[in-house]
Structures are given as structure tokens and as C-alpha cells.
Structure 1
Amino acid sequence: MLPLGTLRKRIEPVVLCAQIASAFFDTGLQMVVKEQCAIATDALNPTPTEDSRQKAMSNFYMIYNMLSKFVPILPAIILSKVSDLGYRKIPIVIPLVGYLVSRVVLLLVIVMDLPIQAMFGGVVVHGLSGGFCSYWAGVMALVSLTSTEEDRSLHMMQMELVYGIAGLIGSLVSGHLFQLYSVDFKQGTVLVSLSVFLYFVCLVYTMFIFLMPTVSPSAQERNETNGIDTQYSKNILNILLLFAGGILFDVAVGGGMEILVTFEMKEPLNWNATQVGYGNAAGFLVFLTSFLGVMVMSRWVSDVTLIIIGMVSFAAGIYFMAFVTATYMFYLGKRIIRFIYSYQSLKPERDRERETQQERETARERYRERDTQRQREKEGERDRDTEREGARHQ
């Protein structure tokens, strides 16, 4: 068991608790949207159809996902600048506040029968606080700064593993918790209340209990390349290609996976809360395959091969999903898709570490060359001074 002082310097408890709470929220939101859209559609149409209900759900998630993706962009940039000034807790604490507020909004929707459109306000608050991109970037930056160069990739993979295991556990339990209700509590109240409570615990832990660990000496080495024209700083084309690849990746993967949310709610699947939780849990298994895939497969195949395997597996899995007519077929498709992250989510981090190491070695070599050149100049200056002094005496 870790000593209390050491445990207070670990961010893993926050990641674990927050991801369990997030899994509770995802299942709760999915079921509440299904119920609310069904009620609204039935009230508007005398003869509601399954397609009209699916359209209402799709419209809601389209707006909700766009707000969750676009609103956090500027706040995340601002929070990253604040983090660079040395306030490492800020990019984690502020998003947790947004998470807490958005979860409270869902709880109010359930308890007070508010329209589901109230969630748009919650997701805007969540986005203005930096959202997931700021929160996770803050966590990864903290892990990177507090680890040595040799074990940094391993620590990041361990953090991803904690994230995935927490999501897996939370999703498996969430469906059962959603169905708990009584005369005084509506269905979903217990689940979302637990989500709110866990986020509150994360916020209190981060603000008052978590201690910022000291930055490892190797983290300071990043400043060695400042002012030096390294190959990395000149290679703007590769940076642009990375951005383009990231955007295309998110459009393909994110868009495809979001469609599955509404697909699960209609025929032929028409899942209940328990099945939704199990389906979300299947998605979190990617983090386990990521850890195993990077640790095992990278020994025998190249980086490019791993990336190609990931892209092909996702394309095959999402194509298979188009023909799903039963729950077992859905899980088969998920199993195929799962391999995409096994070879893409963690592999680039190891590559970046290798490239960074090469850049640092190049920078050190240039420093040594400059020092040698300066030393030679000083020796030459001393020789000239000696010659001039000898000439004067003569």
C-alpha cells in the first residue's frame, strides 16, 4: 500500500472516480433522451413511428455533440496557457466544475421533468470550462512532467488503462443502477445522483487533497532546444499533416460511433438500460486491448503496419455494423472495431517520445560543438595575446 503522502501526489484516483461518474452519466443521458424523445413524439403525432422517434433522438445528439466539440476549443487554449505558467491544477479543476454542473442539469431534468433541451445549457457550461480536451490534456501533461523520460510512455499507458477499467466498471453497473427507483425517486435519479456525488468528490480531492508533485529533472531538459533551429521546428508540413490526420480520424471514428448511440435505441435492438450499460462497457474494452496491443504487437511489426491494422479493423467493424440485426452481432462488430485503438491510441505517444529523444540528442550535440568552437576561439585568443606580449618585450 502506498503511503498517504505518496498517494496524495497521484492523479489516478481522480481519473478513476471521474470516469466511473462519466460512465453513469452516459448511460443515464442515453436512457433519458430515449424516454423524453418518445414522450415528445407521441404528443405531437397521433400515430408516432419508430423513425420519428429516432429522428428526434438524432437531432438532439447532433446539436449536443456539436456543442460539446466546438464550445471547448477557445477555453481549452486559454487553460493550456494558464497551465504553461505553472498552474497545473487549473486545467483539471475548472473542467471538473463544468462536469459537475452539467450532471446536475441532467439530475434536474429527471427530478423536475424539465425538457431535454435543458441539457444544451449544461453542455455549454461544460464546454466553457474546457471540457474533456482540457481535462485530459491537463492529466497527461501532469503525468509527462512528473515522470522520467524512460518510463513516461509506460505511465501514460497505465493512465489510459485506469481510464478504461473505470469506464468498464461504471458502464457494467450503470444499467442496473438506472432501474432503481421508488415512490419518492424516479427512474435514473439514483444513477445520476451518484454521478454528481462522484464528480463532487473528484473536485474536492483535486482542490484540497491532491498535492502537486515536484517536476522531474528530465522535464527541464525540454528547454534545451529553445532558440535552436531543430529539424522538428522546421518541419511544418508534418505538423499540418498530423492536424489533418487527427481531424479526419475524429470525423470517421467519432461520427461512426455517435450513430451507434441512436441505433441501439431503436429496432431491431431496442436496448434497455442494462443492455446500454453493457454496450458501453464493450466500448471501454479498447483500453485493455490498447495496453496489450502496444506492449505485445509492437515487438514484431512496424509502426506503419500497426496503424494500417487499426484503420482496416475500424473500417471492417463499422461496415459490419450496417448489417446488425441482433445484439450478439453488435458485439461481434464492436470486437472488430476495438482493435483500432489497440494500435493507434498509444503507439504515437511512444513515437513522439522517440522523436523527442532524438531532438534532444541533436540539441546536445550542437551545444557541445558550440562549446568546443568557443573553447578553440578562447585558446586562439590566448595564443595571440601571448604572441603580442612576447613581441612587446622584444
Structure 2
Amino acid sequence: MDELDTAAILPGEVSSATSEDDSKETEVSTTAAGRLRPPFTCPLPVSVEPVLFLSVFSVALQAPLSTQYLWDRISEDLGYNGSKRSDCSNSSMTPDPLQKEVETLTAHWNLYISLGGFSVGLLVVPLLGSWSDLAGRRPVLILPSLGLALQTVVYLVVMYLKLPVVYFLLGRLLSGLLGDFNAILAGCFAYVADTSDRRSRTFRVAVLEACLGVSGMLASIIGGQWRQAQGYINPFWLVLATNLAAALYAYLFVRECVPPDPSAKLLTTRHYKAVWRLFSTGGSSGEDGGRDHRCKLWLYTLCFFLVVTVHSGCRELYVLFELSSPLCWGPTLIGFGSAAQHLAYLSSLLGLKIMQQCLEDSWVALMGLASNIIGLVVFSVANTTQLMFTGYGLCFLFMTSTPVLRSKLSKLVNPSEQGALFASVACVESLCFLVGSGVFNSIYPATLHFMKGFSFLFAAVILFIPAGIIGTLQCLDQRRDQRDATVS
């Protein structure tokens, strides 16, 4: 972008012999620079961070409230009011059959809604992500924000008119058709890859993910208090306003980092072929690295898939786990619990910055996985509020693994292939939400009769797989480097 601007303002420094040719080049450069510039300039030293901040705020505010609304609507339909009884937290009493039915139906509806939205997004997100490599990043930030706003409108209509909860599925489908939240993630991380060097990329990605935590923490605190004071309607109006603000900011203030090609088509198989080529041949970099390079791309993608699947699957169960006995949390405690979870994004960023001074990125990721595993084991046996918050505290480094994996994947491909890479990562992330929602929302009701927290224990066991892969690859790399050093 700066090269285009320089070409636009320094045409007089060239020799007179080439002034006519350079004048033409200057006109082209000025036109290109004009397309890259947004209508306004943001006075703060930020780029796509506000877009991600606002989008996460809307999602984090909406997600727990949606689950609670489903719980309340299903409880009302079945005539269950157990969460209001004084003996709800009395674990010695025989479980109410209606409570199990409410838990099961709520988990299943969460599953259906997630399946609908993310199955559509699984097809749309890679299309939008790869298209942004040609058409620019800004459209991929604007369209999904408008889709999330449209979903919120549907949710508000359901609440105002007391329509069946099946209409929540319609809202998720509409959002999925425009890319959903995963397309925003893809656009933001691709933007960071475009504007950062290899050395600083891991921390830049971690900063972007820290925005997820700060925004989510604020939304969680506000959502719990607001829902207790005024119900569900008013918070969802804020969700709508936040999504519209994200789209407006992206249009007005985000500077385009990819010169847009006006002839780039959205509905074409070319975008899917670009993703397929990346993983089938390893891309342009794979030609030099051979089979080893392609294997690393697949293995790190598998690690990312398993980690994000666990994160997304468990996140949907936390509210359900806390609503029912023996915890029986109300909106305020649920808000604080969600805030504690999102606070780990900041502690993970700080931990990553400190550990990078003395450890390789792979060992930092392993520390994050260890923190996550220990926290999940505590969640699996949590039967008091104190123990539940202890689990949240032990997960204080759980988000150090994903920025490391994103950075490692980004460094495996050439700069010209970042769009295709993050399109595939977005596709994997959509699949993570799909699989995570399906697996964990199915396991949770099926295991209530013998261990309420079995799902969290199952998640902890899964995380040993990416830990083993990352550790093995790092040891092999170190051994190869030592052998090369000895030979030289």
C-alpha cells in the first residue's frame, strides 16, 4: 500500500526521458491507491481489530442468552421451574425427570441450530475467503457482519411474537449464507498475514485473538446483568446495533490491503480449486519442501481442528452445565463465568509474550494445551461454584495454542497463497464448530446418567493428540537442525 502511495506523490523525481511512461504509471498507481483507501482514516493505530472486537461482542453477548432463552422456552412448554426451587442445588435429592428432559431438548436444539448454520457456512466461507485474495479483504468483513445482523432480526421477531424456537434455525441459515462469524475471522487473520512479517506474525495473531477475549469478557458481564434486569429483548437490540456498526466501520475505515481485481468472480470453482491445490501439492512452497512440507501442513491443520473442536464444543456446554443442578447458576454467575473464560485470552497473550523470550513457539503451544487439559479435568468433577471458577482459572493459558498453529500454517505457504490458506483454515474452523457442536451436544445428554462432566473429561483426552503431534514435529525439526549444523 505504501509503495502505491509513494508512486502517487513522487512522479517528479524521474528523468524527463521517461516522464510520459511514468506519468501513465502514476495515473494507474493513483487509481489503485484510491481503491485501497477507505472513505475515512481511523485516528487510532488499528486496522481490523475493531471489526473483530465488535463482531465478537455481538456473538459473545448473543450465544449465552440464546441458550438461556431456549432453556426458558422449553421449560415453559414442559411446565418445569426447577431452577427456581430452593432444592435445585441439593445434589442428594433424586434428579427431576423434567430437568433431564429440558437439558436434553436444549442441547438438541443447540445442535440443530449449529448444524444448520455451520453446514451452510462450511460451503460459503472457503468461497468468500479465497475470493478475497482477488477482490480484497473488505467485502469479506462487511457481508458476514450484515448476515449476523439479519440473524439477530430473526431472533428478535421470534422473541416478540413468541414463535416456535425452530425459527432460530432460519436465522442461523441466513447468517451462514453470508459467511457467518467464521468468514470475519478468516478475513481478519488474512489481513494480519498480509500486513505482518514472519517474525512478528505469531504475536500479531495473538493480539488479534486477544481482541476476542476482551470483547467476549465485556459482553458476558453485560449480558448476564442486563438479562436479569430487563430480559432478553433489549440485549438483542444491542447485538443488532453492534453487527451493523462492525459492517459500517469496515466500509468507512478499513484500508484495503489487497489491490482488488474488478473482474474477480465470486461464484466460481476456481476458489475451491485453489484450496484443493494447497493441500494436495503443498502449494508453491511445497515444490521446494516436498513431501515433508505437505505433511506438516496436514498435521498442523489436524492439530488446529482438534483444538478448536474442543474449544467450540465445550463452550456450548458451559452454560447448560451451569444452569442445572448442582450448580444452578443464575444469569449473573453465568455472565461472570463466561467473562472468566474470555479473560484467559488476555492472560494467554501475556503468557505467550513472556514465554516467547525463552521458548520456541511449539513449546508455548504445549504449555497452553497443558493448561487447557488441567482445567477441563477440574470442570468434569465441578459440583460447587468455587470449583467451577477454579477450572476457569487453571485455563489461563488455553488460548496460546491457536495463534501458534495459525502462525505456523501461515509460514508454510508463500505470501501469494495466504488467501487460499486462510480460506482453508476458515473451512476447517467451520467444520470444527459443526463437529464440536454435534459431538459434545450428543455426548452430554447421553452421559448425564452416570457422569455429568464426562464431556469435559473426553475433551481433555482429545487434546493429548495435538500435544503429541506438535511435540514430535518440534523434536524432529530440532534434530534436523542439529544434523545440518554438524554437516556444515
TM-score where L is the length of structure 1: 0.77
Q: What code does the residue aligned with 1:199 have? A: N
Partner of residue 41, structure 2: 5
Partner of residue 252, structure 1: 310
Structure 2 contact 285–414 (Cα < 8 Å) conserved: no
Partner of residue 345, structure 1: 402
1:325 is displaced (CA, Å) by 1.2
Partner of residue 298, structure 1: 356
Aligned Cα root-mean-square deviation (Å):
2.9
Tell me the number of residue pairs that the alignment of Structure 1 and Structure 2 aligns. 339
Partner of residue 99, structure 2: 50
C-alpha distance 179-85 of structure 1, shift in aligned 2 (>3 A): same
Q: Which of residues 285, 292, 295 in structure 2 aligns to 1:237?
A: 295
Rounded to whole Å, the distance in 1 between the matches of 2:78 and 2:119 is: 28
Q: Which of residues 343, 346, 358 in structure 2 aligns to 1:288?
A: 346
1:260 is displaced (CA, Å) by 2.2
Partner of residue 253, structure 2: 210
Structure 2 contact 198–411 (Cα < 8 Å) conserved: no
Partner of residue 111, structure 2: 62
Rounded to whole Å, the distance in 2 between the matches of 1:315 and 1:258 is: 17
**Secondary structure at 2:193 match in 1:** helix
Q: Which of residues 128, 133, 139 in structure 1 aligns to 2:182?
A: 133
User: Do residues 17 (structure 1) and 54 (structure 2) align?
Assistant: yes
1:137 is displaced (CA, Å) by 0.8
Q: What code does the residue aligned with 1:348 have? A: L
Q: What code does the residue aligned with 1:25 have? A: Q
Partner of residue 321, structure 1: 379
Q: What code does the residue aligned with 1:190 have? A: N
Structure with the larger RCO, 1 or 2 (CA within 8 Å, 6+ apart): 2
Q: Which of residues 32, 39, 45 in structure 1 aligns to 2:69?
A: 32
**Secondary structure at 1:340 match in 2:** coil
Q: Which of residues 322, 340, 350 in structure 2 aligns to 1:264?
A: 322
1:238 is displaced (CA, Å) by 1.9
C-alpha distance 17-308 of structure 1, shift in aligned 2 (>3 A): closer
Partner of residue 217, structure 2: 168
TM-score where L is the length of structure 2: 0.63
Q: Which of residues 303, 309, 313 in structure 1 aligns to 2:367?
A: 309
Larger radius of gyration: 1
Deviates more, 1:94-103 or 1:294-303: 294-303
Gaps of 5+ in 1: 182-186, 217-224, 359-394
Rounded to whole Å, the distance in 1 between the matches of 2:290 and 2:177 is: 32
Rounded to whole Å, the distance in 2 between the matches of 1:252 and 1:160 is: 17
1:234 is displaced (CA, Å) by 6.3
Q: What code does the residue aligned with 2:69 have? A: V
Q: Which of residues 75, 84, 88 in structure 1 aligns to 2:124?
A: 75
1:284 is displaced (CA, Å) by 0.6
Rounded to whole Å, the distance in 1 between the matches of 2:373 and 2:285 is: 43
Q: What code does the residue aligned with 1:204 have? A: L
1:300 is displaced (CA, Å) by 2.7
Query: Which residues of 2 match residues 369-384 of structure 1 at below 5 A?
Result: none
C-alpha distance 239-255 of structure 1, shift in aligned 2 (>3 A): same
C-alpha distance 73-113 of structure 1, shift in aligned 2 (>3 A): same
C-alpha distance 357-87 of structure 1, shift in aligned 2 (>3 A): closer
State percent identity of aligned pairs. Answer: 20
**Secondary structure at 1:49 match in 2:** helix
Q: Deviations over 1:123-142 (max 9, x none)?
A: 11111211222111101112
1:12 is displaced (CA, Å) by 2.3
User: Do residues 331 (structure 1) and 389 (structure 2) align?
Assistant: yes
Partner of residue 374, structure 1: none
Gaps of 5+ in 2: 1-39, 81-95, 260-282, 416-488
Rounded to whole Å, the distance in 2 between the matches of 1:214 and 1:301 is: 32
Partner of residue 380, structure 1: none
